[in-house]
């Protein structure tokens, strides 16, 4: 299994800690706001794959604050969406967003830990799981559980980060460039033992769980100035989550430079930098239950 140096089970920031859901709410919402073009493209591709198939019940496994669930409700206007997450805080935010969009009659939430006994969710026609399965202790079991809950001919869509997000120019660093690369390498090392499926090639895993017609599509993310207004806050939230893992893992000058970048004020804060960008890749795998 090949692993990559990042990411994002229940809930879904790329730097998520399973016991700190409240810290993720803003980051997850900002992800949906800033990367809305990616999400629209990914959900649109799922719609193309599903063309001609009945989609009446959708499961979002590891729904977080509902970016995927609400986008799917828009893509499939006749479908009920069941959003599952183990965090009541994230699901409360999801329900509020659904109400704001007039979707609360079509989107329901289920609080459940998918590392434990799965709730009775089936039968479903489509399951979406974004930046979530790699957080589970046994993702292979999750793929089998989803398979069992899916009607024959139904679909599964799994989205993961396959190239970590980058926000800063290569020359950022105190006395030596490459600060962001060192940050992400240290985060990856922190996560390697706890999340061995992070950055996995999910195609063989899907096939091994009995899914067929496995397809893969990469969505490159390349945003530069002028960025959306929320981009600085997204970068700040993302890097602040990274910072929680880095004491003792980076040199003191790197930590000090990162603290300057994620501060709320100062000309070098990511909230004010004019050279900020957002780069990365998310990959979506789709598969069919025979």
Say if residue 12 is exposed, middle or buried (CB neighbours under 10 Å; 0-12, 13-18, 19+): buried
| Number of separate helices (H) and strands (E) present in the chain | 9, 7
CA distance 209 to 147: 8
| Residue found by looking up tokens 């001609």 in the block | 52
Q: What single string gives the DSSP state of each residue in 161-185? A: EEEEEE-S-TT-SSSSS-HHHHHHH
User: Which H or E run contains 141?
Assistant: helix 139-149
Do residues 185 and 162 lie in contact, with contact meaning Cβ atoms separated by under 8 Å?
no
pLDDT digits (tens, 9 = 90+) for 152-211: 999 999 999 999 899 999 988 777 899 999 999 999 898 887 788 888 899 999 999 999
Estimate to the nearest angstrom the gap between the alpha carbon of 100 and the chain centroid. Answer: 22
Q: Which of 264, 256, 147 is nearest to 211 (CA)?
A: 147
CB proximity list for 209: less than 8 A, separation 6 or greater: 140, 143, 144, 147
CA distance 177 to 160: 28
pLDDT digits (tens, 9 = 90+) for 107-120: 999 999 999 999 99
Helix/strand/coil for 269: coil
Do residues 250 and 176 lie in contact, with contact meaning Cβ atoms separated by under 8 Å?
no
pLDDT digits (tens, 9 = 90+) for 133-153: 999 999 999 999 999 999 999
Cα four-point dihedral sign 209, 214, 220, 221: negative
pLDDT classification of 23: cutoffs 50, 70, 90: low
Helix/strand/coil for 82: strand
Estimate to the nearest angstrom the gap between the alpha carbon of 275 and the chain centroid. Answer: 25
Given this model, what pLDDT does residue 24 score?
80
Q: What is the mean pLDDT of residues 84-102?
A: 97
pLDDT digits (tens, 9 = 90+) for 211-259: 999 999 999 999 999 999 899 999 999 999 999 989 999 999 999 999 9
CA distance 128 to 72: 9
| Domains annotated on the chain, with CATH | 24-288 (3.40.50.150)
pTM, 2 dp:
0.90
Given this model, what pLDDT does residue 198 score?
84
Q: Dig out the tokens for 32 from the structure.
A: 């949906």
């Amino acid at each position: 299994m090949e692993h990559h140096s990042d990411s994002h089970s229940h809930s879904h920031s790329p730097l998520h800690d399973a016991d700190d859901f409240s810290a993720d709410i803003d980051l997850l919402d900002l992800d949906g706001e800033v990367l809305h073009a990616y999400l629209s493209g990914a959900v649109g591709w799922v719609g193309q794959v599903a063309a001609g198939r009945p989609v009446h019940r959708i499961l979002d496994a590891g729904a977080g604050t509902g970016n995927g669930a609400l986008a799917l409700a828009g893509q499939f206007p006749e479908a009920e969406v069941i959003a599952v997450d183990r965090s009541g805080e994230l699901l409360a935010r999801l329900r509020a967003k659904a109400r704001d969009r007039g979707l609360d009659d079509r989107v329901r939430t289920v609080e459940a830990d998918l590392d434990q006994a799965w709730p009775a969710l089936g039968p479903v026609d489509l399951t979406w799981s974004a930046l979530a399965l790699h957080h589970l202790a046994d993702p292979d079991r999750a793929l089998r559980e989803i398979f069992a809950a899916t009607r024959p001919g139904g679909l599964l869509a799994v989205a993961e980060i396959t190239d970590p997000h980058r926000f800063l120019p290569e020359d950022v660093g105190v006395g030596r460039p490459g600060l962001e690369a060192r940050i992400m390498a240290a985060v990856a090392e922190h996560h390697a033992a706890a999340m061995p499926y992070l950055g996995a090639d999910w195609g063989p895993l899907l096939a091994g769980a009995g899914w067929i017609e496995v397809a893969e599509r990469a969505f490159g993310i390349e945003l530069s100035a002028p960025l959306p207004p929320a981009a600085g806050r997204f970068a700040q939230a993302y890097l602040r989550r990274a910072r929680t893992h880095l004491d003792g893992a980076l040199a003191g000058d790197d930590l000090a430079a990162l603290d300057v970048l994620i501060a709320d004020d100062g000309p070098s804060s990511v909230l004010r930098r004019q050279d900020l960008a957002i780069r990365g890749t998310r990959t979506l795998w789709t598969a069919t239950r025979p």
